[in-house]
A and B are shown apart, each in its own frame.
Chain A
């Protein structure tokens, strides 16, 4: 089954404790992206990757890191989480941009709470 998986689905952590949220897709998609969803703000793009070893900042990259060493994986790293990073995080992937094939497939979400 074609899908985007994220782990963990729920995470409660404390300020300053490094964490990684994994994202994996099995559709051989080139483009992957991370979003955070906050009430009243919709989804805001954190980072995206056009392909392996190619990453770029979205609209809210502060406090986050990403890497794309393999095509299927795109982990999101919070080196020193803070309470303002409490949010619902979505990973997404798509074949490409600017073409009719450009439909983002979203993972199930990771609800992160930083205390």
Chain B
């Protein structure tokens, strides 16, 4: 069955701490990978995406993610978080073998303490 796993449902960090949110998927073939962010009361916005090429992808607001094919992972990172990064983060995968669906992880709620 298709699945996308996000390891932590809640993360609490202090400002300036480093962030890494885990994402693993269970598809064996070609995948397109995404991280979306949902700020409180707002709709989802794309942070970054990976289709091919350099496995280290840089997105908006200082976020980056690394695709490690051998580990089926696409972890999101930020060296120094800010209070304004408080949001819910979703990993999503489009796997060619499953056609035109986009499968989301359960989300990770990040709270940054000022």
* A→B interface (CB under 8 Å): 31, 33, 35, 40-45, 48, 50, 56, 58-59, 90, 92, 97-100, 102-104, 106-109
Whether the pair B102, A42 counts as a contact (CB closer than 8 A) is no
Contact of A58 among B45, B90, B101 (CB under 8 A): B101
Per CB-CB distance, the 4 closest pairs between chain A and chain B, nearest first, are: A43-B104, A42-B106, A42-B104, A106-B44
Contact of B46 among A43, A104, A109 (CB under 8 A): A104
Whether the pair A44, B104 counts as a contact (CB closer than 8 A) is yes
Total interface residues on B, CB under 8 Å, equals 25
Distance A43 CA – B43 CA, assembled complex (angstroms): 12
Q: Is B49 an interface residue (CB 8 A)?
A: yes
Whether the pair B104, A103 counts as a contact (CB closer than 8 A) is no
Identity of the chain A residue whose Cβ is nearest the Cβ of B1 in the assembled complex: A59
What is the CB-to-nearest-CB distance from B54 to chain A, in angstroms, rounded to a whole number? 13
Q: Is B32 an interface residue (CB 8 A)?
A: yes
Q: Is B113 an interface residue (CB 8 A)?
A: no
| 26 A-B contact pairs sorted by A residue (CB < 8 Å) | A31-B100, A33-B102, A35-B104, A40-B106, A41-B106, A42-B4, A42-B90, A42-B104, A42-B107, A43-B44, A43-B107, A44-B104, A48-B101, A56-B99, A59-B101, A59-B103, A90-B44, A92-B44, A100-B51, A102-B49, A102-B51, A102-B94, A107-B43, A108-B42, A108-B43, A109-B43
